[in-house]
Structure 1
Amino acid sequence: MRKCILPILPVLLAAVITGVFLPAGPARAQSSVAADPRDQEIQLLKTEIQKLESRVDTLEGLDQKVKVIDRKLEVQQEAEQQHALVMPIVKASEKGFSLASPNHDYNINLGGILQGDGRFFTSGSDKDVSSTFFLNRVRPILTGSVAKYYNFNITPDFGQGKVVLQDAYLNITYWDYASLRTGKFKAPLDLERLQSDRDLEFSERSEIQNLVPNRDTGFDLHGKLADGRVFYDAALMNGVPNNTAADTTDLDNNDGKDFVGRIFTTPFELGENEWLKGLGFGIAGSYGDERGSTTSVYKTYGQSTWFSYNSGVTASGLRARLEPQLHYYWRGFGLMAEYAQDQHSLNRNTTVHGKYVNATDTFTDTGYMAQGSYLLTGEDASYGWVKPYHPFDPRNGWWGAWEVAARISNIATQTREFQLGFANPSLSAKIATEWSLGVNWYLTANIKWQLDYANTYFNGGAGTTTEPKDRPNESVFESQLQIAF
């Protein structure tokens, strides 16, 4: 029996062990399977968090690099700005050459005008002039501003064998409606005189210049009103003879001064009506007390003297000028017209038949001018310069701008000046009338060639005192080549 039981014991033991442990195995397996999804989600979330943390670390690194680059750019821009604050602005164009501070508060502009002329008389030239080539104007022009509001102009002239300071003034320009100019400059009176020498339709101005001043020294309160459509001047000046620029001295030879006033308007300039935009008109005048040798001498287109006062005649007080004026521009057509009146008191000191004569009287000389022009090549006419649509370039078939012009001007002196012995009818004419024709060729905005013909005829000015005759007509051709910038 014992022998039978002993071999069975290992089998029973194995069965018991198997019965005990086998049921537990599947239960644990099922429990493990049930927990796997949560563990996996947690593990996935941990993985994603680790990835996000890695990306954040990467972005933080990139952000630091961007900040470093931005700072480098800021430093570079600051350096460039500092460099720009000290570097001047240099420009060169058809308007000249300029050097300016970055904010334009300080600047210097270099311009100039050079005119080479040829003048040839065909009849009537006076003994004091002859046919000749000459340099009419040689003017370096230095302008600029200091501290933004203080502008200056210095213009010497080396033309015609003389050295003259044409302009030298300071202009204070805080407000457009009220600026103050002081120094030597064009008296603000005559429309044709105020036009720049560069922009003239003819190489010489009209006869009416014999009744108005050129340049003078003093103060001028001036400005623009109504959006730039009204211009005014109110000047106090030394007073000079007509058509002179105080060439020899800028000092006055008497205590009296001239008041010069002008108002000019272009009322339709900002409107839409093209027929009226170019219309401008105004009136100017002067009033003063002039004494001493400030008497006027009247000259022709060819610069020969046709009227002067007798020896011993001097200015003795009143001098009053009046001048209505206008211009009109429409497309290629231009028109300028003026009337001038000069009232002046004179004193005559002389000896007649051994007796001393001292006589004082007041006389009035009058004059007018009318000038028309037309641009044949389609450019717009204006009071300023002409810029050709196509500068001269024969290789491309461009010939610049072409213009024709005509003018008539006249001066009539008062007959009483001759009757009372202030002027000699055999030496000075009573009336001079000039008519002129011109052709202007604008090769570029800076180069202009002019060819003019002028004929002036007179009433009186020759013969004898008792039997005066008319002075012979003066006819003259004048050609001018100009460079201006």
Structure 2
Amino acid sequence: MKNQSINLIIKRKFRVLVIAALCLVTMNVFSQDKAKSSENTFKSYWKNGYQLVSKDGKFKMKFGGRIQYDWAYFGQDAALEDEFGSLGNGAEFRRARFFNSGQIYGNIKYKIQLDFTGGKVSFKDVYINISKLPIVGNLKIGHFKEPFRLEALTSSKYITFMERGLPIAMSTERNSGFMIHNSLIKSRLAYQFGVFRNADSYGNAKQANDGYSITSRISGSLIKNDEKDQLLHLGLAYSYRKPQTKEYKIKSRPEAHLGNYYVNTGTIENVNSITHLGTEAALVLGPLSFQAEYIVSTIKTQTATANVNYSFKGYYGQVSYFLTGEIRKYKNYESGFGRVKPKNNFGDGHGGTGAFEMAVRYSGLDLNDKTILGGDLKDITLGLNWYLNPATRLMVNYVLADLNNVGNGNAFQMRFQIDF
């Protein structure tokens, strides 16, 4: 047992050293090109993270990270307590991540992002992106988010609420694979098409069988007026999945990461294939913003005697408004919405208050179909966000959960966040 623990520690340290070595190699590439040409003199500056850029703009590097620390207080009626047991209040580091990203020779981009929560180091985004390719435009290779759902693609640094809506339980976020993608018609229309394999927390996908997934998405900005701060975004995504284990499960908490799982299909066996179909829409009118998504998952099972299909659905709709006049900025088709920049930072010495945002969301997840009674959960979430500056945010959420034919629960949550 002692030797196993020592080996585990050595392996973890080795992985960290490998990542550090990759960062140093990248920096060495930068320094070599700097030595070769005075045109590649680098300047360093701070812009939501420490950045380096060459004079000709072909070489770039950024270091950043995020810390999200949560508190949660729960309440539930007797029916839920009888069904799921007592629920204690708690606190956790929801995310603690650091990354290095950059650009090499103008058309090669990369990112290495590690997460340190849960007492271990794991991969999040580790990929290489090659641009300016004929016909397809861009090729992305590595471990990254599958192109499915606007809210899932938007970074946790920028989502409106502390947790994504209930349909996140139907999404597979990151996997290992490759994806072609590009924007068209002056970035008004975009497509993404990827082939993936289920990977562990280090991006490894070791499978000797036919387990894989194919995920695609088309999205567009029908209206995009930066001068008037107006945006209308629509999208459609589809994912076909062939599970390695022939098993599948969907389960979800009530939009509170420290809470209990209130809905759960249990393990569905003899699964032949899984399909996810998702629609998405977002509307921004100055400080007012609307966003909604609807997802249908179909699980096809096959035995020697019968074929049975199960269908589950998830959805949400949300409205947010900036009391101080800021707007939600759309970043791009790959990353959804981006950073909020207050008009006046809190503590700037000129009486700045930062930005204040109010939001409400209604979401649902129905996991009942035929012989599977996983539960039907509805949530109403109220949110208040205080952006002290572009890198610091305090969040307060109140979640009211209704588990159909069982009972009700609630959660009061706070998050302290800094990202750079």
1:22-48 deviations in whole A, cap 9, x for unaligned?
xxxxxxxxxxxxxxxxxxxxxxxxxxx
TM-fit CA distance, 1:256: 3.3
Q: Is the 8 A contact 2:71 2:91 kept in 1?
A: yes
2:57 matches 1:113: no
| SS at 1:199 equivalent | coil
Tell me the amino acid that sits aligned with residue 371 of structure 1: Q
Alignment equivalent of 1:142, drawn from 100, 113, 116 = 100
| SS at 1:138 equivalent | strand
1:366-424 deviations in whole A, cap 9, x for unaligned?
11110110000011233322100010028532211000000011111233133xxxxxx
Q: State how far apart, in whole Å, the 2-side matches of 1:377 and 1:207 are.
A: 29
Query: 1:446 maps to what in 2?
Result: 391
Query: 1:261 maps to what in 2?
Result: 216
Q: State how far apart, in whole Å, the 1-side matches of 2:404 and 2:301 are.
A: 23
TM-fit CA distance, 1:92: 1.6
Alignment equivalent of 1:278, drawn from 213, 231, 234 = 231
Q: Which has the higher helix share?
A: 1
Aligned-residue RMSD, C-alpha = 2.6
Query: 2:174 maps to what in 1?
Result: 215
Query: 1:375 maps to what in 2?
Result: 322
2:112 matches 1:158: no
Aligned length: 369
Query: 2:332 maps to what in 1?
Result: none
Q: State how far apart, in whole Å, the 2-side matches of 1:171 and 1:216 are.
A: 15
2:147 matches 1:188: yes
Query: 1:435 maps to what in 2?
Result: 380
TM-fit CA distance, 1:146: 1.9
Alignment equivalent of 1:478, drawn from 388, 392, 413 = 413
Query: Judging changes above 3 Å, is the alpha-carbon distance between structure 1 residues 98 and 249 closer, same or farther for their aligned structure 2 residues?
Result: closer
Query: Judging changes above 3 Å, is the alpha-carbon distance between structure 1 residues 315 and 209 closer, same or farther for their aligned structure 2 residues?
Result: farther
Q: Is the 8 A contact 1:440 1:451 kept in 2?
A: yes
Tell me the amino acid that sits aligned with residue 239 of structure 2: S
Tell me the amino acid that sits aligned with residue 410 of structure 2: S
Query: 1:397 maps to what in 2?
Result: 351
Tell me the amino acid that sits aligned with residue 214 of structure 1: E
Within-5 A mapping of 1:408-419: 408-418=362-372
Q: Which has the higher strand share?
A: 2
2:42 matches 1:88: yes
TM-score (norm 2): 0.81
Query: 1:341 maps to what in 2?
Result: 296
TM-score (norm 1): 0.71
Within-5 A mapping of 1:240-389: 240=198, 246-247=200-201, 250-251=204-205, 253=207, 254-269=209-224, 274=228, 277-292=230-245, 294-300=247-253, 301-303=255-257, 304-310=260-266, 313-314=268-269, 316-346=271-301, 361-382=308-329, 383-389=337-343
Q: Is the 8 A contact 2:176 2:203 kept in 1?
A: no
Q: Is the 8 A contact 1:215 1:246 kept in 2?
A: no
Q: State how far apart, in whole Å, the 1-side matches of 2:247 and 2:86 are.
A: 21
Q: Is the 8 A contact 2:40 2:56 kept in 1?
A: no
Q: Which has the higher contact order (CA 8 A, sep 6+)?
A: 2
Tell me the amino acid that sits aligned with residue 168 of structure 1: V
After superposing the two structures, state which structure 1 stretch, 102-111 or 326-335, moved more: 102-111
Q: Is the 8 A contact 2:247 2:271 kept in 1?
A: no
TM-fit CA distance, 1:332: 0.2
Q: Is the 8 A contact 2:354 2:386 kept in 1?
A: yes
Query: Judging changes above 3 Å, is the alpha-carbon distance between structure 1 residues 372 and 271 closer, same or farther for their aligned structure 2 residues?
Result: closer
Q: State how far apart, in whole Å, the 2-side matches of 1:103 and 1:128 are.
A: 60
Structure showing greater radius of gyration is: 1
Query: Judging changes above 3 Å, is the alpha-carbon distance between structure 1 residues 151 and 450 closer, same or farther for their aligned structure 2 residues?
Result: same
Q: State how far apart, in whole Å, the 2-side matches of 1:206 and 1:455 are.
A: 13
Q: Is the 8 A contact 2:126 2:144 kept in 1?
A: yes
1:324-356 deviations in whole A, cap 9, x for unaligned?
1110101101111010000112468xxxxxxxx
Query: Judging changes above 3 Å, is the alpha-carbon distance between structure 1 residues 161 and 122 closer, same or farther for their aligned structure 2 residues?
Result: farther
Q: Is the 8 A contact 1:260 1:287 kept in 2?
A: yes
Query: 1:455 maps to what in 2?
Result: 400
Query: 1:233 maps to what in 2?
Result: 192
Q: State how far apart, in whole Å, the 2-side matches of 1:318 and 1:195 are.
A: 27
| SS at 1:413 equivalent | strand
Query: Judging changes above 3 Å, is the alpha-carbon distance between structure 1 residues 358 and 121 closer, same or farther for their aligned structure 2 residues?
Result: farther
| SS at 2:243 equivalent | strand
Tell me the amino acid that sits aligned with residue 151 of structure 2: E
Query: 1:74 maps to what in 2?
Result: none
| SS at 2:152 equivalent | helix
| SS at 1:148 equivalent | coil
Query: 1:173 maps to what in 2?
Result: 131
